[in-house]
Amino acid sequence: MPADIINSTRKLFSLQREGNRQIQSFIGETTSIIYAPFHVIDNNLYDSILGIPVFSRLPDDFDMGNYTAEKPDWPIAFIPALCPECGWDLAGERDSMVLLCRNCDSAWHHRNKRLEKIGMGYIPGGSDNHLFLPFWMIRTGIFGIDPGAYADLVKSAGLPAVVQEFSNEVKFIFRIPAFKIRAHHFLRIAKQMTFVQPLDEVTEKVPDGTMHSVTLPVTEAIESIKIVMAGFIKSKNDLFSALIDAVIIPENFNLVYVPFRTGHHDLINEKYNIALNNNILSTACNL
Ligand SMILES: [Zn+2]
């Protein structure tokens, strides 16, 4: 099962850092099962491609009966790429986790075997030589730690907090890349975008320009919040322990496209002072 594979990998990494409490997250991980043909002759297991025995002698605990020689039962379900609201064709690249309707300006992602609508918009400012990069804007609270540690955590991280009008609850809005890139770039851009103050007004429409695909689902972006936050903490003290115990509970999320000017080597948003090298995106397709 993919969950078992992830757990074994997690254990492997944890063993290497035994003794240190840590915040660890696998973001945008992919697990694959590869089926290969084997056959049995005279109680020995053969690789059907190479035609040679896999073992000189089968291990004692190997039981062929545990492996079914049938075609795996893989039901394939298709969801029509039509807008559930207006029936228009939905647009999106092959690898996109989100489909967009340019007719009624809506966005949809796949959840529980059906398309579910998500809030979406863009920051105006793009023109012909711009690429809109997608970000998950996740509004969340942080729970499960004592008020003193919480106050220190917020202060040290310097997070722009949003205080609810009718309660004392403090919420944060994280802006996490909705596209896969290597971890250190991912954390840097998440941090820079989260600290943009103020973000321009979001126009609740599909942007009229070139867009990068959404390749990281919001569930993975939420998983990354704790580790993004760990990067904000300036002082090296027991705040990390407080953060390990903290529980991140997202309240809502939206998808926001942000324009970046495309240069020879970089994608740049001058206003927010964020740049990333073109190679970062072009090499991310294998992640
Ligand atoms: Zn529509």
Q: What is the pLDDT of residue 162?
A: 59
Maximal C-alpha separation, the chain: 76
181: CA distance to ligand 1 center in Å? 30
Burial of 150 (0-12, 13-18, 19+ CB in 10 A): middle
Measured in residues, the chain has a length of 287
108: CA distance to ligand 1 center in Å? 10
- Written as six digits, the tokens of 285 are 């397709």
Identify which of 266, 234, 89, 213 has the alpha carbon closest to the alpha carbon of residue 159: 234
Give the model's confidence band at 4: pLDDT under 50 very low, under 70 low, under 90 confident, else very high.
Answer: low
Q: In whole angstroms, how far apart are CA 185 and each of 7, 54, 68?
A: 25, 42, 44
Summarised one tens digit per residue, pLDDT across range 47-68 is 888 888 887 777 777 776 776 6
151 has a pLDDT exceeding 90: no
| Neighbour count for residue 36 (Cβ, 10 Å) | 7
Cα(179)–Cα(183) distance, integer angstroms? 11
112 has a pLDDT exceeding 60: yes
The mean pLDDT of 210-233, rounded to a whole number, is 89
Give the model's confidence band at 22: pLDDT under 50 very low, under 70 low, under 90 confident, else very high.
Answer: low
144: CA distance to ligand 1 center in Å? 40
83: CA distance to ligand 1 center in Å? 5
225: CA distance to ligand 1 center in Å? 31
251: CA distance to ligand 1 center in Å? 25
Summarised one tens digit per residue, pLDDT across range 224-267 is 998 888 887 776 567 777 788 888 889 999 999 999 999 889 99
Quote the pTM value.
Answer: 0.77
Cα(246)–Cα(238) distance, integer angstroms? 13
59: CA distance to ligand 1 center in Å? 58
Identify which of 191, 130, 125 has the alpha carbon closest to the alpha carbon of residue 158: 191
Q: What is the pLDDT of residue 275?
A: 94
Q: Give domain limits for the chain.
A: 37-67, 122-286
54: CA distance to ligand 1 center in Å? 55
